[in-house]
Structures are given as structure tokens and as C-alpha cells.
Chains A and B, each alone.
Chain A
């Protein structure tokens, strides 16, 4: 037996563990291909944390792309007058933006 130190033994064990884990995951993906879809968090923009359009303050609203200071102020005034914005159509009416822009914008918001 070679005189391995504790650290060397731990490193070798970790390497073996990684290889076994990798092969096992590959096998799982081979047997059940849909499982591969679970590894999409980094490439799927649906996992973007949403901003609550009815609670966000001015400083938070202006961090959203396509929303400038005037749009943020409009949203806040509208909320104060009518309590809440219910859906993307209401936002489109309020901001008078193109449907495509509103579709992009609605990806950043939740409408609670």
C-alpha cells in the first residue's frame, strides 16, 4: 500500500465520488430523458424573480428594462388612484407602449 496522507486519500475519494455521481446521473438521463429538462434553471428565463407591480416602489420599478422614470411615476400614480394594475392589458393602456414591449415587460412582473 502506498503511504497516502489523509488529504490525498480524501482527494482520491472525492474524485471517485464525482465520477460515480456523474455516471449515475448520465444513466438516469438515459433511462428517463425528461429528467434532463430539470437542469434548465440557468438557461430558462422563466426562473427570473418577478417584481410585484402593485407593491414595488419607484426605485425598484426603474430597474426594469423599458421602464424609465416617467413610466414608473405613471404606474405609482395609477396605483394610488385605482388601487391596482390587474393585467398586462391594463399596463399597456396606462403606458401606451407597443404590444411587443408590454409582452417583454410583463415577463418582469407578477400581478398579485
Chain B
């Protein structure tokens, strides 16, 4: 009875996906922090299943059984994702070679050519195939991050023979809790192979790439090329960041402006971009004589394509899944529920890659949306009502909710707090919407130079106005500061516990004694 009441309280009885996602994520967290033997999870699941057969429990036990099954599934997913094969390349790090190692591998990522004043570097991810050390060859598997410290002709999909040294990826020390090694590890990269200036980098054969990734790369290249043609390098870099998520072209001072005005989320392709793309596609298709269902399905497919072109990071996949579920709910004539949709998006990401649960981008994206769903209506309710005021109340409510929701994570990972973001986001969000729309128009007119140059001037003005306004916000004293001591995990969790308590009390209109309120 108590369990049923608990489930109905948290709203999972009519939101099954929320229960499944919560259980799955709990399983991943338990597996990461509490070492359970291999037989542990099946044993727990069997015990709960046997318990469910007892007549007294039968009616009430379905929810518990489902939750336990999800927990076990989450734990199993993380274990299988992080398990290493016996011949995994990372097991040969520190091998006494008695000379250089030879690695045969296949390039599986885009090849990044980086040229600095001192050196040229070619960087890519490869699937290891064969490792030769001290005259002994062995078949190996697993991904490896390859860096060639000279100019080299490398194409995606080609098989290479490299000579160099194998090591664990460097964890670049810095402030905050972000770890480069963990980021690589979540991409299944546990080893790095360096080819020095005189090292061997020979292409054995080139099988090419499957046409879908090739088309994705071509689309990204075309988008970047159009902006580079009509805008200055700084402007083109920012546009590429906003539309395709390619951040390498954004200048350092612009990154600093975004960081200090608390608007860095704009540089990540996320919900707003995907929503605008979905709306744009739907709008263009609505001009054609096609049935509504076909339009919606086409919008789903093209949104997924945009998410792929934009790099498939957690925020963009989350928003693509949410918008697809939203559109499909109309096609299937099903009622749509925001929390359920968010839970489906969580599942879509963590089932494919369970380590994404510990990724800062994933956490910021989902907690941001969750705070918009849970906190924003409560804040709007605190303001005075009125037809004119309603728009501003909602706008301010969204900004405050996003700030409250993400502050804990930002402080935990980056050790910064940005109160000015509450103000900076108010002009920033509509300006970015305008800039995205202008960017889309520039792409449409890119084939007609006169119109394209006219739109490009409007876009340049909007971009400079936008960054100029953000720069003014960075001048406000106390708008951004570094914490002297980065909060611990328990402090961050305590912050979210207090935030949830306040949401709970406000939602249930519980009157708190002033002393308790001050204490909270």
C-alpha cells in the first residue's frame, strides 16, 4: 500500500517511462559506485520475481518488479559497455617493446588537421586491428586515439600502418572536475597512440565510408563553407557553433564573453535549434500539397538528420528525441506528456551509451529541461497576474528556473556561479532565435549572391549586436565569479535536495515555520 502510494505520489503510475528511466539510471549509478558481483543483479531480480508470485503481493508487486528489472538492466548495460575484451588495446599499454610498436588500424572518425606556429598535428580515432611489439604480432581490438605529429594524408575509412608508442590518454590538469580521460573513456577510447615526426604512417587501403556519414560530413562542410564565404572569420565561427555545433572557429574572447555572461548554453546545439529546425521543416512542407501525417513523419526524419549533422551530442539527441515523440504523438493520436517524453529521451541516450549519465552536457541538458517543467510554473505563480504581465512572468520564470536548476551542476563541475545569466538570457534567447532564422535564410539564398550579401549584412549586424550586448553584461560587477572552493558531491546533492524540498512544499502549499524556512 505504502509503495503504491509512493509511486502515485511521484506520478509514475501514469508515467511508466519515468519509472523505467529512473530505475535504469539508478542501476547505472549503483553499478558505478557499489561493486556488486556478477551474480548479484540476477539474484536480486529472481528474489523479487519469486516474491511477486506470493498471492498477497501479486497485485502490488508489478511496479516493484518492473523497477527492479530496470535497475538490473541499467547495471548490466553499464557493465557490458565498460567491459574490456582480453585482447583490448588498452591491456598492452606499457608493453616492454624493445623498440617501436607497429599498429595496424582502421580510421573510424573524421580526421582533424591542426596547424600551429610550431607544428602540424593530425588527430583521429581508429579501430585497432593488429599490434606488433618486439617482433611478435597479436590481434587486438578497441578504439585508440591516434596523433600524428607531422603532415599526413589520412582519410576516414582507410587502413593504416603506424609506428610509435602506446600510452594511456593524458588527463590534462585543470580546475574543476572535468576529466578528459573520462570523456574519452565514455567514447570507448582507453588508449592513445602517438606517431612522432619520423614515425611511419602508411595507408594500406581505403575502403571509404558508408554513404550516410559521408553525406552528413558533406552537409556540415557545406553549412560551414556558406558562412565562411559571406561572414568574417569570427562571425562565421560563431554561426558554425550555433548551427552545426562546430566550436573550433569561435574566437577565445567570444568564448570568454559567453562564459562570463552565463550564456554558454547557446553555443551548444540544443532544444531551441532543433525546435526551430523542426518548425522550419514543418513550415516549408506545409507549403506543399502533402498530407499532415506525411509532413510530420518527414519532419521527424529530417530532425534526426539535423541531430546527426550537428554532432549527435547529448543535448541535441535529447531535443531531437523529444521533438520526434511530440510529433509522433500527433501521428498516432496519443496524449503527450512532457515528463514521459523527457524520460524516453533519457532512455534513448543511456541505453546506447550508459556512461553518458555521468557526462556534464547530459546532466546540464536534462536538469535544465526538468527544472523548466517543475520549477518554472511555480515561479510564474508567484508573480502578479495580468494579460500584459503574463508573457514577461513566463519569460522571467523560465530564466530563473533554468538558473536554479543548473547552478548546482555548474558550481560542482566548473566552480563558477553566474547570477548575471538571469538578466543576460532575457535578450539573448530572442536574439539567437533571430540569428538562427537569418542564418537559415542565408543558406536558402546562398546561390543568389546579391540576396545572400544583403541577408549577410543583416546577419552580421545581428551577430555583433548580440555579442556586444552580452559583453555589456560581463561588465556588471559580481555578475560572474569563481568559487574559492569547488563544492563536493555531497554539497551539490544537498543543494538539489533543498531545491526539491522547496518545490515539494510550494507544490503542496505546505506552510513552513519561518525558522525552518530560514534553515532551508
Query: How far is it, in angstroms, between the C-alpha of A18 and the C-alpha of B441 when the chains are bound?
Result: 9
Within 8 A of A (CB), among B255-296: 256-257, 260, 283, 286-287
Residue A49, interface by CB 8 Å: yes
Known contacts: A22-B454, A26-B457, A38-B464. The answer to whether A43 contacts B475 by CB under 8 A is no
Q: Are B464 and A41 in contact (CB under 8 A)?
A: yes
Query: How far is it, in angstroms, between the C-alpha of A22 and the C-alpha of B286 when the chains are bound?
Result: 27
Q: Which residues of B contact A7 (CB under 8 A)?
A: 283, 286
Per-residue contact bits, chain A 45-64, to B (CB 8 Å; 1 contact, 0 not): 10111000000111110110
Q: Are B251 and A19 in contact (CB under 8 A)?
A: no
Q: Which residues of B contact A40 (CB under 8 A)?
A: 464
Q: Are B441 and A48 in contact (CB under 8 A)?
A: no
Q: Are B455 and A19 in contact (CB under 8 A)?
A: yes
Residue B468, interface by CB 8 Å: yes
Residue B467, interface by CB 8 Å: yes
Within 8 A of B (CB), among A1-51: 5, 7-8, 11, 14-15, 18-19, 21-23, 25-26, 29, 38-43, 45, 47-49
Q: Are B460 and A47 in contact (CB under 8 A)?
A: no
Q: Are A41 and B471 in contact (CB under 8 A)?
A: yes
Q: Are B238 and A26 in contact (CB under 8 A)?
A: no
- CB A5 to nearest CB in B, in angstroms, measures 8
Q: Are A26 and B454 in contact (CB under 8 A)?
A: yes
- CB B142 to nearest CB in A, in angstroms, measures 34
- CB A31 to nearest CB in B, in angstroms, measures 14
Q: Are A25 and B461 in contact (CB under 8 A)?
A: yes
Q: Are B482 and A59 in contact (CB under 8 A)?
A: yes
Query: How far is it, in angstroms, between the C-alpha of A9 and the C-alpha of B457 when the chains are bound?
Result: 24
Which among B234, B438, B457, B467 is the interface contact of A25 at CB below 8 angstroms? B457
Q: Are B437 and A39 in contact (CB under 8 A)?
A: no
- CB A14 to nearest CB in B, in angstroms, measures 7
Interface size on B, residues (CB 8 A): 42
The prevalent SS among residues of A at the interface is helix
Q: Which residues of B contact A62 (CB under 8 A)?
A: 175
Q: Are B464 and A48 in contact (CB under 8 A)?
A: no
Query: How far is it, in angstroms, between the C-alpha of A8 and the C-alpha of B288 when the chains are bound?
Result: 12
Which among A5, A39, A47, A63 is the interface contact of B257 at CB below 8 angstroms? A47
Q: Are A19 and B235 in contact (CB under 8 A)?
A: no
Query: How far is it, in angstroms, between the C-alpha of A57 and the C-alpha of B431 when the chains are bound?
Result: 33
Beta-carbon nearest neighbor of A60 in chain B: B482
Q: Are A49 and B451 in contact (CB under 8 A)?
A: no
Query: How far is it, in angstroms, between the C-alpha of A48 and the C-alpha of B259 when the chains are bound?
Result: 11
Known contacts: A11-B283, A49-B257. The answer to whether A43 contacts B175 by CB under 8 A is no
Known contacts: A42-B463, A45-B251. The answer to whether A22 contacts B457 by CB under 8 A is yes
Q: Which residues of B contact A45 (CB under 8 A)?
A: 251-253
Residue B125, interface by CB 8 Å: no
28 interchain pairs (CB within 8 A)?
Answer: A7-B283, A15-B441, A18-B438, A18-B441, A21-B461, A22-B456, A23-B454, A25-B461, A29-B457, A39-B460, A39-B461, A40-B464, A41-B471, A42-B232, A42-B238, A42-B463, A43-B232, A43-B233, A43-B251, A45-B253, A47-B467, A48-B256, A49-B253, A49-B256, A49-B474, A57-B484, A59-B415, A60-B481
Residues of A within 8 A of B (CB): 5, 7-8, 11, 14-15, 18-19, 21-23, 25-26, 29, 38-43, 45, 47-49, 56-60, 62-63
The 5 closest A-B pairs by CB, nearest first: A42-B234, A22-B454, A48-B253, A43-B234, A22-B458
